[in-house]
Amino acid sequence: MPREFLIPDLYQSEIIKTVKNARQILDPRKKDRTPAVLDLGPVRFLIPRHFGFCYGVENAIDIAYRTVEEHPGKNIYLLSEMIHNPTVNKDLEARGVRFLFDTDGTERIPIASLSPDDIVIVPAFGTTLEIQQKLEKQGINPYQYDTTCPFVIKVWKRGEQLGARGYSLVIHGKYQHEETRATFSHSSQKAPCVVVLNPEEAHILADILLEKRPLTDFDKYFGMKCTGGFDPVEDMKRIGVINQTTMLASETREVMRILKEAVAEKHRRQSSLRSDQQSDLQSDLESGLQSGRPGDQQSGQQSGQPDDQQNNQPSVEMHFADTADTLCYATNENQSATYGLMEERADMALVVGGYNSSNTMHLVELLEERFPTYHIRDASEIKSRTEIHHFNQWNRQVERTRNWMPKAAEPVTIALTSGASCPDALVDEVLLKVASYFEGCRPVDEALQPFREEGVTTSHSVTARK
């Protein structure tokens, strides 16, 4: 049976929970990515098949809140934000939890000031080996209250396995993100590592491997994002790609494709060179036979015998490890559901989540291709029907937009989703606030009736129709 997590009541949602439960009944195998429709009359909300808290986030919240509840009066610290959601982190601070580091790694409270009686919770992103060692030096077990996402740990283990087999590692991620810093720390103990941000950087790395770019470009683009002494020519003879779990899954696959093709081309070049050398050797051998030099004939026969490796060139799979199984299932599901949203007609999209949440920003990035899209932290960013404050990830600023509400003929259709670290309760609040700007909305309970258990079993009209 699925594990039951302790999620505080303040994060519970009536509206979104009802919709999600109905979709689970209708689609238990999660095959249908068509969004549900919550129809309030003058405004309709498209609710994706998957969004909100994932397994790793629920696991982290469960451990953190149980720890606080079971240790009253204790000094309790989080290494940094447990997840990238300000509501959750502020609530933990209100309960007395303090943060040792900012998300960028800046130290708030020195680890050296802690005592063995203090409690330190490792966030869902995990942490570096260096910080673990500092905690152990203070007599604190870093694994006692560890909320590291199991799927992050899966990536670490795969990296260790590949390193033990002689592979170097390319980490697809944001180098300054806590999870990528942790993955880099763990992986670099077993293998040479380099971090690439996106397919554009993967192309640069591929060109360096193929010697289409000078080696100096490696230092320019990756010098601060690799293990010491990384040699892109020698160290990338055998590589595997692992990832920050909150990156776009499609981008990780693209990074893998680009590098795999580069490795294959490098392999073909080397095979061709060996074939040319073999041809030259054979020509020399034939010349020696014609000249009647027996010594040359004998040595030529010996040196001309190709070994097993030359006869049976190893395939590209020997040089490029398939690591597709390290992609986070929740990231895949949420992004797949977002593509489902993009297949529908909507006047705009609202994405709820922390402004430093990587997975939330990727949902915004996708939806921006299809609709006017606003990334908001919570309902407080919606100031009125004519003004909204929202995050622009491209210039890293919170912007104010006037006349944001579509003036389309009613009903107005809004695609509504959230990041994996955002409580559904915040999505409820956004939905209700937006609905308050429309006159004549039917009661939410009435709109939810098709999603309640008795309605679900007799109707299949809860999903969008093109």
Q: Which residues are catalytic?
A: 179
Residue with tokens 């919770």: 121
The answer to whether the CB of 420 falls within 8 A of the CB of 24 is no
The answer to whether the CB of 258 falls within 8 A of the CB of 315 is no
Distance of alpha carbon 159 from its chain centroid, rounded?
A: 16
In whole angstroms, what is the distance from residue 267 CA to residue 285 CA?
A: 27
Contacts of 463 (CB under 8 A, 6+ apart): 23, 26, 32, 34, 35, 36, 37
In whole angstroms, what is the distance from residue 341 CA to residue 358 CA?
A: 19
- As given in the structure block, the two tokens for residue 246 are 């909150």
Q: Hey, is 115 helix, strand or coil?
A: coil
Q: Hey, is 37 helix, strand or coil?
A: strand
Maximal CA-CA distance, the chain: 104
- DSSP secondary structure, 184-204, as one string: HHHHTTTS-EEEE-SHHHHHH
CA distances for 398 relative to 348, 391, 395, angstroms: 18, 4, 9
